[in-house]
């Protein structure tokens, strides 16, 4: 896995040994192609950050700042190393925390323009459905900029209905991954 474009283009990224399903280079390239000019200067939030690839890719492409949130301690160590390797650490804030606790407490100085969320895929009735929780989160909704975009990655069986507080702009499928681009409705 590597940074696809921008100032850190070609930089190889480490991936946490377990508990992570990194977004492939191909899917990241497609997402950032769709986002285009919304990335330079953006304030970015990368939830369930894993390796940090989405936030680091955004920084490499000119985002002003990225906050990366990941609960797994070993993954946080990998993100920190990846930020250093890409020489983008001064533009990032790493929070080793539960995503929903972070969102409940977060009072950003400025709202986020882009939010990436790649939660663990829901597999069955006994599993926690993080996608549903993200889509229902009023805490996430309140920290968006006026024209902010949520880029949500799910499995193919993911969110068929995005709920009442989001408007779906676009939806793309890449193998077993579905990417949904959403904007918040005023609540």
Q: In the chain, how many domains are there?
A: 1
pTM of the model: 0.91
- Is 61 inside any structural domain? yes
Give yes or no for a contact between 61 and 129, defined as CB atoms under 8 angstroms apart: no
Q: What is the CATH number of the domain that holds 81?
A: 3.40.50.150
User: pLDDT tens, 20-64?
Assistant: 677 778 888 999 999 999 999 999 999 999 999 999 999 999 999
What secondary structure does DSSP assign to 47-80, as a single string? ES-TT-HHHHHHHHTT-SEEEEEE--HHHHHHHH
Q: Which domain holds residue 29?
A: 25-184
Question: Is 67:45 a contact under the CB 8 Å cutoff?
Answer: yes
Model confidence at 133, in pLDDT bands (50, 70, 90)? confident
Residue 178 lies inside a defined structural domain of this protein: yes
Asked if residue 20 is part of any domain, the answer here is no
Residue 3 lies in a domain: no
């Amino acid at each position: 896995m590597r940074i696809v474009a921008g100032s850190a283009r070609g930089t190889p990224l480490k991936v946490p040994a377990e508990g992570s399903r990194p977004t492939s280079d191909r899917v990241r390239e497609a997402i950032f192609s769709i986002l285009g000019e919304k990335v330079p200067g953006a304030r970015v939030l990368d939830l369930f950050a894993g390796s940090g690839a989405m936030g680091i890719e955004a920084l490499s492409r000119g985002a002003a700042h990225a906050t990366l949130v990941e609960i797994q301690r070993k993954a946080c160590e990998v993100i920190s190393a990846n930020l250093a390797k890409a020489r983008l650490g001064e533009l990032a804030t790493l929070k080793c925390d539960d995503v929903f606790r972070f969102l409940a407490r977060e009072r950003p100085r400025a709202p986020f323009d882009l939010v990436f969320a790649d939660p663990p895929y829901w597999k069955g009735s006994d599993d926690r459905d993080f996608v549903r929780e993200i889509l229902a989160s009023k805490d996430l909704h309140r920290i968006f900029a006026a024209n902010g975009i949520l880029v949500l990655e799910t499995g193919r069986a993911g969110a068929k209905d995005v709920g009442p507080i989001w408007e779906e702009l676009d939806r793309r499928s890449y193998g077993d991954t579905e990417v949904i681009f959403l904007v918040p409705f005023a609540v």
